[in-house]
Amino acid sequence: MLRDAHVHMTRLPSFIETASILKSKKVTAVSSACAPWEWPILEKLSRSFENIEAAYGLHPYEIGSNYQKDLEKCLDYLKQNPDSKVGETGIDRRFPGYAPKEEQESAFIFQAKVALELKRPLIIHCVGDYLRLFQILSSLGYPSSDAPIHLHRFAAKKHLLEPVLSLQCHISLHQDSFKGDDLALFIKNIPEERFEFETDADETFAPKETTPEETANRLIERLEQNYKHFRELLNAK
């Protein structure tokens, strides 16, 4: 059975029909809702389709002036959906457009603590400051077998191998993850079962006129390509 470790189902065109087609093709998907408007939509979707696994979080791009209230609301959704995951959340140093550093870290710490408290997987988005992110996780008591870390759309760099191993991270591979030369080092040193594959598909993945069948097939094709690239690197190690 194929599994998309990170997708934004509620942002895809005709996402209900697409979820149904994925179910018929025995494809499961972890759908991440990163903004408050998405949470009730994902809740309904995941309760309607058992192949859709829900993740609720506040993305660093979605941090606004009332983010503390948004985080409390997110916590409510997590508690109401005991099988859900936390995220995506994290740190993104691209400016302008993203919240200030202090607010990003505050929101991330809140969600990382929630994952520990509720014993849920933590799905992480990070651009530009992995070392700071790993420092925060270590200070909070990670790694934890109850709250495994999932590094979404991971970009492998040699200097990150040691903290990734130390924190027992799971690595989610997007097609962009295969562009660098350092991924082979991670595949060589990290157990195969800690790797997963994702599309990170959102509203930019398929034009609005794309049919649900075409969207589903495109998702499956992307996952199969990622898995193929991974096997090639794995066999070459």
Domain containing residue 82: CATH number: 3.20.20.140
- Tell me the pLDDT tens digit for each residue of 23-61: 999 999 999 999 999 999 999 999 999 999 999 999 999
- Tell me the pLDDT tens digit for each residue of 179-220: 988 999 999 999 999 999 999 999 999 888 999 999 999 999
Structural domains of the chain, count? 1
Range of the domain at 89: 2-236
- Tell me the pLDDT tens digit for each residue of 56-88: 999 999 999 999 999 999 999 999 999 999 999
- Among 117, 197, 233, 122, smallest CA distance to 167 is for 122
- Among 11, 73, 20, 17, smallest CA distance to 42 is for 11
Indicate the pTM of the whole model: 0.96
pLDDT cut 70: percent of the chain above it: 100
Residues 6+ apart with CB under 8 A from 96: none
